[in-house]
Structure 1
Amino acid sequence: MKYIILIILLLSVFTFRGTSQSSGDTTIQSKEMDTVTVVSTGYQVLPKERATGSFEQVKEKQLSLQFSPDILSRMESVSTLLFDKSNLPFRPTLTVRGVSSINGPKSPLIVLDNFPYEGDISTINPNIVESITILKDAAAASIWGARAGNGVIVITTKKGKYGQPLRIDFVANTSLIAKPDLMSMPLVGNSDVIAFEKGLFDRRYRFSDTSRSNRPSFSPVYEILFKERAGLISSQQAQNMLNNLATYDVRNDYKKYVYQQAVNQQYAVSVSNGSQRSAQRFTAGYDNNIDQLSAKYQRITLRNDAQLQLTKKLNVSTALYYTYTQTSTGKTGYNSTSDYIYQPLKDVNGQEVPRYRYREAFIDTAGQGRLMDWKYYPLSDYQYNKRTVKGDNLLASLNLQYQLLNSLKLNVNYQWEKQSISGERNQMLQSYYTRNMVNSFTQINYSNNTILYRVPKGDIIDREQRLLNSHNIRGQANFSKQIADLSVDAVAGGELRATRNTSNQYRVYGFDANTSSLANVDFINAYPNFVTKSSARIPSGQQSTQTSIRYVSVYANAALLYQKKYGFSFSARRDASNLFGVQTNQKWTPQWSAGVSWNISNEAFFGRNALEYLKLRASYGTSGNVDQNRSGVTTISYYGFQSDAGFSQAYISQFPNPELRWEKVSALNIGFDFALLRNKINGSIEFYSKRGSDLFGNAPIDYSTGLSLMSLTRNVANSATNGFDMTLNSAFKIGKFTLSSSLNLASAHSKVTNYELENDAAFNYISNGSIVSPLEGKAIYAILSYPWAGLDANGNPQSNLDGHTSTDYGAITGSAMKVGDLVYSGSAIPTFYGGMTNSIRYKQLELSVNVNFKMGYYFRRNSVSYEQFMNLGITHSDYLNRWQKAGDESWTYVPSFVYPNSSQRDAFYRNSAILVSKADHLRINFINLSYMFPGKRKIAAPFEQLQITVSASNLGLLWKANGFGIDPDYPDLKPSRKLSIGLKATF
């Protein structure tokens, strides 16, 4: 491998030295080529006029409208991609044309410069990207075979151009992000929380916990009341202490002592030039981000692309791309689930106020002073608990192209990717984690005053090393020929791909930074816990995993255009992989596609009036979807030292599944491309229908196999997605003003059409939309709720069960309520969405405004949970609107508080239909103001181009369908406003 990299480096240097002069002829050809719109599939580049598939392009200008450090975020609102901002677990953050899978992967395939990208997409420097092509239908994406079912995003980076004179580009961006508005969180205020806890204390709630062996902690209010009850303080002293707590709101302390304004800085410089026979581009980038909690992120990117014409027939191109990232943790932010709202971070004397994870009285006397401090200090603990993650990613590629005939080129492409991620968490001796670990396993002999530290005093360090090695080689023949009125573009080839992932984690105890020494720890034997006296083993922190994935593929694709009117395309691909079952690999079942197009505007009968261009496209085909975490072969996993004999244990994590295969997605697409008024208005409208079959689902197992499982993942489920995409662009010049607009609209309705092994108990399908509820005929991500029948005269929530109003919460939330009784609101993800950018330009000054919308979906509002309020201190402002007296049921839906509380009552209310609202909204995404200084002016010298842009983003909602003031994308804490300034210069 090192020899291949050496060859690439030598070729790059040779190419750079050979670019001292430019060719006028080549420059003219380059300019002419720029006028031809082309699309890239990752296997070939086609003129868009010959394409029958659905290709959506996002160009550099659109990507530069936003100032996010990663490339995918810059595509939001300027493409038909759907970004999920809910942060709900198990939901895909990015989808192309809906969701096709039920239990498999749902994110699109990312392709970087013709090969799948296995690294973290957020590490790609946006400043190296020239354009992004989204492959949405079978004709466009099926060439990627078993990995294209969720769509494909092809990222093309900037390259040097033949005949280009020396050019230097510089980019500098700085963004300032305000502190979060913690006071906007829907929480209960100090006084009401204190009053609630006093009411619980008066009912002797949790008094039995005082005798529990694990010594659970109590809130500061409870501790004050316990002291009053024990006669340690007077009632007046207790009331004064409670009144003092009521004056605090810990969110103000977090704003003062913890949070800060975030700063993101991004710089990039590139140098490119070219001659008749060579071209090169070198780019260096640096990102330095400090977030609102002082966590740091740094990224260094270096990329070099070189192209060299060795002979008239042989061309070679190379690319080296190196990325280094480093992330370090910052302070601990506000957490409403663990912070009492009335407990300050500092007292009136400026001293840090500790938190107690065990009972206060126990901690103050435990070990008779022989133990380490057992309190938690939220303000300073982060100084002793540090995590750093460093990442190295190297991509090296080599492409050889030989012109065998005028119409036939032979290509060999090779790419090697190596990714190394090393993480270290140093929990120093002063950190709460380490102090708690040392104390928990300390053994004290009070008779002879000896102390035995089973966990030695010193730092606890967790280290992780993840390595990825990927090799790709592709051999391909490219045929392109004009035969009379027939244009032919075809490719055929094969490729091999092997990826190996390894991960190792381990922990060291008793580390001393001064001597670099560490201590041995016994992980085999169990020792008594100081608090509970129960025995447990000291965590070893050891884990090791290894995966090896291999693909073998053959493929072919052809695009024909007759008389510049009638287009035809065909593609086929066959994949084999060690992920698939044996029987699947033995079968020849290729993915395929076929497409047709008709350029109506080139017909003799087409009269060019307002409508100048009209093209009809249609395609149908299949592609696949592979879950790299599933395999058709038996897989064994090992524990660490868990048995009493000291041996490691193993278990079968995946059972043999010889028929396991990729999920299959069939897609029909019909589209129209059009242009009006001398191309002042242009766009496309597409209608599509996708059918997912052989999707992963649970299927019953023959009991005679002897397996303990009730079911096994097999290809047994189906789905359907229908929708449309529309893009519309316009540009008009009125005097010295230029008005331009870009509109993207998309609709996607995804539902389950078949799913075996259904259980008709309703509680199996209750969801807030974070997980798939595989119910036939319903959305893949559905909102299903218990029916709501209002509050009764005592403030109890009611439902309908067996045709009657009921408060039998055990039956409602149990097996008595059937799935057919549930209320189906609709999809939990948008079914209609889009974005629009409007720009107005006057001479060199341009103003751009972007808005986006999401519609046709629902969300479940958060509300009060009395169980969480009582046990965890988690509050919600709906508590203030609870039923409190007779007649309140006429204006509120929030149940009364009853004691003792019923968890089933809480579960019914929080999952009932009354808390479901429409999530439709319209958001203003960003406003940009830019000025392009004219070249050769004094202020712009020595720059050929100089542009300054000021941008404001995260500006909030313009409209929302729900009447509760809730932002569906950010229901608890709204994103902070961001102000950015950017500079782009060329010289």
Structure 2
Amino acid sequence: MKKLFLLLTTVLLTAVCALAQNRTISGTVVEAGNDEPIVGATVMPIGGGQGTATDIDGNFTLSVPSNVSKLKVSYVGFQEQTVNAVNGVKVVLESMDHVLDDVIVVAYGTAKKSAYTGSASVVKADQIEGRLVTDAVTALAGNVSGVQVLQTNGQPGSAPEVRIRGIGSINGSATPLYVVDGMPFDGDIATLNTMDIESMTVLKDAAAAALYGARGANGVILITTKRGKEGDARISLDARWGGNSRQIDGYRTIKSPDMYTEMAYEALRNGYLYHQEDVTAMSAHLQANADLYSAFGTGYQFYTLPAGQQMVGTNGKLNPAATLGYNNGSNYITPDDWAKETYCNGLRQEYNLSITGGSERFNFYGSVGYLGNEGIIKNSNYDRLSARVAAEYQAKKWLKIGTSIAYNHVSMNSPDGQEDGDQTTANAFYYTDYIAPIYPIFVRDANGNIEMDHTTGHPIYDYGDGRNMKGTDRNFMGGGNPASTIIYDKSELLMDVLDAKWYGIITPIENLNITGTVGYFLDNTRGHYLMSKYYGSSVVVDRGGSANMTYSRLRGLNLQALATYRRTFGNHHGDIMIGAESYDRNSESLSALGYTLYDPDNWSVNNTLNNDQRTGSGGASGYSTRGYFGRLNYD
């Protein structure tokens, strides 16, 4: 019995000692600013023991070994906190959005916003994603003071011009330098998927962009793409639909044929009356009526008038007996609505799928996206397929490696058949806004029916030069018709863009980071341009139409080495950065042009029959920079 008593005493004492080695800690985790409880926050003892998660009220209770003095508290989207392991502790977590507001991306690194002395503006992801924009730089409009965003082309997908410091040279470029994830980006900025962008920083003044040297003379736009975040894998699907239509009217122009006729008469009458000698008011009136439909006037007769009467009276008003529409025996001439035949409503659709997640040592981000954007001019559209993968791995305590690879395929169509898409005779915006409201688009027979071309199945268009309708001579853009151009002339631009970087970060001692980065950029662009063999520019039609093919290849290789040392002494903060960079860019281009199309819809130069008129050209160029730089900050 005595032995049994001693055994039980020993067991109880052992249990009491074991219990004495653990203690229970309770606490609360709340959000900074509003003290709202954070549900599901992870609370881990540092040094051993099992962690736990907060309940619906943000409370937690866990048993920790007696040697544990610190707790690590974390939650997705909030800054991690380390607190003392005491009972009743209240942990306040700050949102990462608030943390990010205090840090901005600058040249070759980051800086505290409060300590940054240069002129810089930041546009965050929510400001970009909250707007239906095809390209990222359009989101700068209205969000960054002192920056001009100018849309110079109505073609869907065309990136606007950005002016950060105005225009410093008549002949030189005013385009800013684009830097994506620390690497110079020489491609079309519109190819980047806006949903992959985390932030954009615009460096405005000379001090902010000084580290980029002459390349940053027009300002610098730093684009940071999204990265993975610690936590469980999260999948996000974003789908958007919208429409494109012309909402802003152009300049106030004359839309009435009656008013235009009266003003044309007045211009002729005043010309004869004030610029010729011995001309009476009546003779000027009669001469103006006689020349109203000549090449000096409108060039077309489009009113029917009883015999022996004047079109415009001495009071300058149109004869009430005149009726709109005129039959010249072969054709019926009447005005058409140019805007109706040129403009349309376009569909915009965008889909983006992304996945992100990670652990303490590894994080990843991946996305795929599609954008389809139809323009407000018929047969104009922009399609973009994009994919991006980013990953980062903490291989050792002193080594971190990562990569970011993006691929974008773009298909752009514009109905002009011109390589630059901005020819005056093909510019539908200019044509439609400025042509007089008296001219026809189509050729009509004597009964007023639109004549059809049985070869193409399309209507026959009027070009204002007498080709398809005799006795006509349009004094505005004779030889052109944008409604015809939309149907017959074609322009296609295909782009394949690869943007990749690989980096490694070594931390040999505390506070010192040595970063090596390799960046590679590749842009393959093909252009196909077809001008009709049937209708359009008389010069091209007389030569049987034309086919033009272009090819360009742009490659860039960037090597960077940076060393950054940061140290804090009480309220004093300092960092020093030194670096070296090498950048090589090479471009190649080829172009071929041929006339006399065999197949009217095939834009291959091999489809042209006139070998004597085939032409070709090509070229290559290179550009290289080598630089060494440094920066010292103290606050």
Q: Structure 2-normalised TM-score?
A: 0.66
Which digits, 9 at most, give the CA deviation of each residue in 1:418-444, with x for residues without a partner? 0111110122423324x64353xxxxx
Matched residue, 2:350? 266
Instruction: Tell me whether 1:437 sits opposite 2:540 in the alignment.
Output: yes
One-letter amino acid of the counterpart of residue 621, structure 2: T
1:402–1:224 CA distance, 2 compared to 1 (3 A): same
From 216, 222, 225, the counterpart of 2:299: 222
From 102, 108, 111, the counterpart of 2:176: 108
Count of residues in Structure 1 that have an aligned counterpart in Structure 2:
479
Matched residue, 2:79? 32
One-letter amino acid of the counterpart of residue 449, structure 2: N
Matched residue, 2:228? 160
From 420, 438, 446, the counterpart of 1:342: 438
Alignment of 1:207-286 (within 5 A): 218=295, 221-224=298-301, 243-245=323-325, 253-286=337-370
Instruction: Give 1:473 deviation, angstroms.
Output: 0.4
Instruction: Give 1:547 deviation, angstroms.
Output: 2.1
> In structure 1, the residue corresponding to 2:118 is in which secondary structure?
coil
1:27–1:55 CA distance, 2 compared to 1 (3 A): farther
Matched residue, 1:358? 465
**CA RMSD after TM alignment:** 4.0
Instruction: Give 1:40 deviation, angstroms.
Output: 1.2
1:287–1:242 CA distance, 2 compared to 1 (3 A): farther
Matched residue, 2:195? 127
One-letter amino acid of the counterpart of residue 494, structure 1: A
Which digits, 9 at most, give the CA deviation of each residue in 1:921-953, with x for residues without a partner? xxxxxxxxxxxxxxxxxxxxxxxxxxxxxxxxx
Which digits, 9 at most, give the CA deviation of each residue in 1:446-483, with x for residues without a partner? xxxxxxxxx4x4x5211111211111001111212235
Instruction: Give 1:502 deviation, angstroms.
Output: 2.1
**Structure number with bigger Rg:** 2
Matched residue, 2:242? 175
> In structure 2, the residue corresponding to 1:140 is in which secondary structure?
coil
From 620, 629, 633, the counterpart of 1:546: 620
Identical counterparts, % of pairs: 21
1:236–1:375 CA distance, 2 compared to 1 (3 A): farther
Which digits, 9 at most, give the CA deviation of each residue in 1:191-215, with x for residues without a partner? 243345556778899xxxxxxxxxx
Alignment of 1:470-869 (within 5 A): 470-483=556-569, 486-513=572-599, 518-519=607-608, 521=610, 523=612, 542-560=616-634, 567=635
Q: Does the 8 Å contact 2:558/2:581 carry over to 1?
A: yes
One-letter amino acid of the counterpart of residue 31, structure 1: F
Cα distance in 1 for residues equivalent to 2:551 and 2:399 = 41
Cα distance in 1 for residues equivalent to 2:52 and 2:120 = 33
Matched residue, 2:384? 299
1:341–1:485 CA distance, 2 compared to 1 (3 A): closer
1:494–1:194 CA distance, 2 compared to 1 (3 A): same
Cα distance in 1 for residues equivalent to 2:589 and 2:254 = 41
Cα distance in 2 for residues equivalent to 1:241 and 1:340 = 22
Q: Does the 8 Å contact 2:198/2:225 carry over to 1?
A: yes
1:279–1:86 CA distance, 2 compared to 1 (3 A): closer
Cα distance in 2 for residues equivalent to 1:116 and 1:26 = 38
Which digits, 9 at most, give the CA deviation of each residue in 1:214-263, with x for residues without a partner? xxx948943549x99xxxx965799999742599995x723433322222
Matched residue, 1:141? 209
1:494–1:234 CA distance, 2 compared to 1 (3 A): same
1:350–1:362 CA distance, 2 compared to 1 (3 A): closer
Alignment of 1:390-401 (within 5 A): 390-401=494-505
1:137–1:337 CA distance, 2 compared to 1 (3 A): closer
Matched residue, 2:524? 420
Highest relative contact order (Cα 8 Å, sep 6+), 1 or 2? 1
One-letter amino acid of the counterpart of residue 147, structure 1: R
Instruction: Give 1:53 deviation, angstroms.
Output: 2.7
> In structure 2, the residue corresponding to 1:498 is in which secondary structure?
strand
Instruction: Give 1:184 deviation, angstroms.
Output: 5.9
Which digits, 9 at most, give the CA deviation of each residue in 1:648-694, with x for residues without a partner? xxxxxxxxxxxxxxxxxxxxxxxxxxxxxxxxxxxxxxxxxxxxxxx
Matched residue, 1:55? 120
Which digits, 9 at most, give the CA deviation of each residue in 1:105-137, with x for residues without a partner? 333322111122111112221111111122233
Instruction: Give 1:97 deviation, angstroms.
Output: 5.0
1:487–1:341 CA distance, 2 compared to 1 (3 A): same
Cα distance in 1 for residues equivalent to 2:300 and 2:388 = 60
Cα distance in 2 for residues equivalent to 1:51 and 1:424 = 48
Instruction: Give 1:500 deviation, angstroms.
Output: 1.2
Q: Does the 8 Å contact 1:42/1:113 carry over to 2?
A: no
Cα distance in 2 for residues equivalent to 1:559 and 1:411 = 19
Cα distance in 2 for residues equivalent to 1:521 and 1:307 = 57
Cα distance in 1 for residues equivalent to 2:217 and 2:577 = 21
Cα distance in 1 for residues equivalent to 2:597 and 2:180 = 42
Instruction: Give 1:337 deviation, angstroms.
Output: 7.6
Which digits, 9 at most, give the CA deviation of each residue in 1:584-608, with x for residues without a partner? xxxxxxxxxxxxxxxxxxxxxxxxx
Q: Does the 8 Å contact 1:23/1:276 carry over to 2?
A: no
Q: Does the 8 Å contact 1:166/1:272 carry over to 2?
A: yes
Q: Does the 8 Å contact 1:402/1:410 carry over to 2?
A: yes
Alignment of 1:964-979 (within 5 A): none
Instruction: Give 1:284 deviation, angstroms.
Output: 1.0
Runs of at least 5 residues in structure 2 that lack an aligned partner in the other structure = 1-50, 54-71, 81-95, 154-159, 276-293, 312-318, 327-331, 417-425, 452-458, 473-477
Cα distance in 2 for residues equivalent to 1:146 and 1:264 = 39
Runs of at least 5 residues in structure 1 that lack an aligned partner in the other structure = 1-21, 206-216, 366-373, 440-454, 524-537, 561-566, 568-987
Which digits, 9 at most, give the CA deviation of each residue in 1:394-439, with x for residues without a partner? 0011011111211222111111100111110122423324x64353
Alignment of 1:164-203 (within 5 A): 164-179=231-246, 185-187=252-254, 189-197=256-264
> In structure 1, the residue corresponding to 2:440 is in which secondary structure?
coil
Cα distance in 2 for residues equivalent to 1:404 and 1:149 = 36
Q: Does the 8 Å contact 1:82/1:94 carry over to 2?
A: yes
Which digits, 9 at most, give the CA deviation of each residue in 1:895-915, with x for residues without a partner? xxxxxxxxxxxxxxxxxxxxx
> In structure 2, the residue corresponding to 1:57 is in which secondary structure?
strand
Q: Does the 8 Å contact 1:95/1:108 carry over to 2?
A: yes
Instruction: Give 1:274 deviation, angstroms.
Output: 0.5
> In structure 2, the residue corresponding to 1:404 is in which secondary structure?
coil
